Amino acid sequence: MGRYTLRRLLQLIPVFLGSTFIVYALVWGLSDDPFAGKCGQRACSPAYIAVMTERYNLDDNIVVQYLKYLGALFTGDFGQTASGTEVADVIANAYPTTIKLAIVALVIEAVIGILAGIVSGLRGRGFVDSLVLVSTLFLISLPVFVTGLVLKQVLGVELGIIRTSVPNDPSIADLIVPGFVLGSLSMAYVARLTRTSLIENTRADYVRTAVAKGLSRRRVVGVHMLRNSLIAVVTFLGTDLGALMGGAIVTEGVFNIRGIGGLVFKGILQQDTATVVGIVVLLVIVYLIANLVVDLLYAVLDPRIRYD
């Protein structure tokens, strides 16, 4: 397993280079006039374009540009946003908030999703199962912005239970409702997945054996069935954590959470390349590590899986 981990870590390098290059090329390649819209309701002056072309090495070939960017990156220089602040500062301010929100959302979706899945999976088709099914489907079908706006309107504006926006440096309590909104789609999926896996596993030979052996139901469900049912769920949660760490444009917007999602979104629309590429560099690393951890978890969850 040690060698496997090492090999996976080495593989991070080409993936990292590949994805950051693609993003770099895409953001600059978005339009043939990268400074359109930077000068209000008029075209930028030739003097402005000349200065900016120089600053971002736009006269170079795209590969050379990228290598120059990468060179600066390795000295810790993420570059500057269009408004002159250090991208590293902006990320350092925003990322803790995003991580907090991601973890809150993940915990909510994992706990509620798995519990709902277990309840409906063990009871089988019936009222509880249908209730879980319909309520999860409802969450899926309502886009995130609707869930967010409705919860904020009802809990925040009308009942005054929560703040209508999340303060800078939010506490965990501030993030519970946004975390629920953000995690709702995945929660539905986790519930369905847990339920399906459980139903499958109740029919598996080892469960019959365990039941036949006279093990308590709690032990059969808790140790044998859950553990085997969780592989797919853990895969999904790991992948989802990677995705959640990428920030949430809509949820962040609705609750004014100053995280990474809004930054990337605004950066893309305004073609603020330094910000977008800087953040994506970070996200790619996070995503790759999340996937690696998930792959390693398989071996822990299912002793039959061996990495060689």
Partner 1 sequence: MSLRRLVAIVAGMLAVALVATACGGGGGGDDQSAQTLSIEWGEPENPLIPGNTTEQNGGDVIDALFAGLVKYDVNTGQPSNEVADSITTTDNKTFTIKIKPGWTFHDGTPVTAQSFVDSWNWTALGTNAAQAQSFMEKIDGYDEVSTEAPTAQTMRGLRVVDPQTFTVTLKQPFTIFPLTLGYSAYYPLPQKFFTDRAGFEAAPVGNGEFRFESRTPNQNLTLVRNDQYAGSVKPQVQRLEFRVYSELQTSYDDVVSGNLDHVRAIPSAALAGNRWKTDLGAGARQKEGLVTDSLGFPLYDPRFANPVLRKAISMAIDRQTIVNQIFGGVYTPATGYATSAAEGYVPNQCGEACTFNPQRAQQLLAQAGGFQGPLTLTANSDGGHDPYMQAVANSIRQTLGIDARYQPVPSFSEQRRLANSQQFTGLFRNGWQGDYPDIETFLTQLYRTNASSNDYGYSNPAVDAALSQADQAPTVQAADQGYAAAERLVLNDMPNIPLWSRPVIYGNGSRVAEAEHNPLNRQDTTTYRLNPQG
Partner 2 sequence: MTEPLLAARPADTEPEPEPDAAEVSGLWTDAWRQLRRRPLFWVASVIILVLLVMAFFPSLFTSIDPRATDLAGSGSEPGPDAIFGRDLQGHDVFARAVYGAGPTLAVGVLATLGTVLVGALAGLLGGFRGGWQDSLLSRFAEIFAGLPFVLGGIVILTTFNPPGQPVPESRLIFQVVTTITVLSWPIAMRIMRAATITAKQQDYVKAARALGAGPLRIVFRHILPNTLAPVLVYATIQLGAFIGAEATLSFLGIGLKDPVVSWGVMIAESQDRVAQIPHAILFPAGFLVVTVLAFVMLGDAVRDALDPRGR
Q: Does 118 bind partner 2 (CB under 8 A)?
A: no
Q: Which residue's structure tokens are 């990156």? A: 73
In this chain, which of 29, 72, 167, 216 binds partner 1, going by CB under 8 A?
167
The residue assigned the tokens 């609707």 is: 146
214/205 Cα distance (integer angstroms): 14
Looking at the Cβ atoms of 53 and 196, the one nearer to partner 2 is 196
User: Of residues 2, 46, 76, 126, which one binds partner 1 by CB under 8 A?
Assistant: 46
Query: Among the candidate windows 61-69, 159-167, 172-180, 290-298, which touches partner 2 by CB under 8 A?
Result: 290-298
Would you say 170 or 246 has its CB closer to partner 2? 246
Q: Which stretch, 25-33, 53-61, 69-77, 169-177, contacts partner 2 (CB under 8 A)?
A: 25-33
Residues between 84 and 113 with contacts to partner 1, criterion CB under 8 A: 84-86, 89-90, 93-94, 96-97, 99-100, 103-104, 106-107
- Interface residues for partner 1 in 221-280 (CB under 8 A)? 222-223, 226-227, 230, 252-256, 258, 262-263, 266, 269-271
Residue 146 engages partner 2 in binding (rule: CB under 8 A): yes
| Shortest distance, position 110 Cβ to partner 2, whole Å | 16
Q: Could you say which of 70, 163, 239, 292 contacts partner 1 (CB under 8 A)? A: 163
Give which of partner 1, partner 2, none residue 53 binds (C-beta under 5 to 8 Å, depending on kind): none
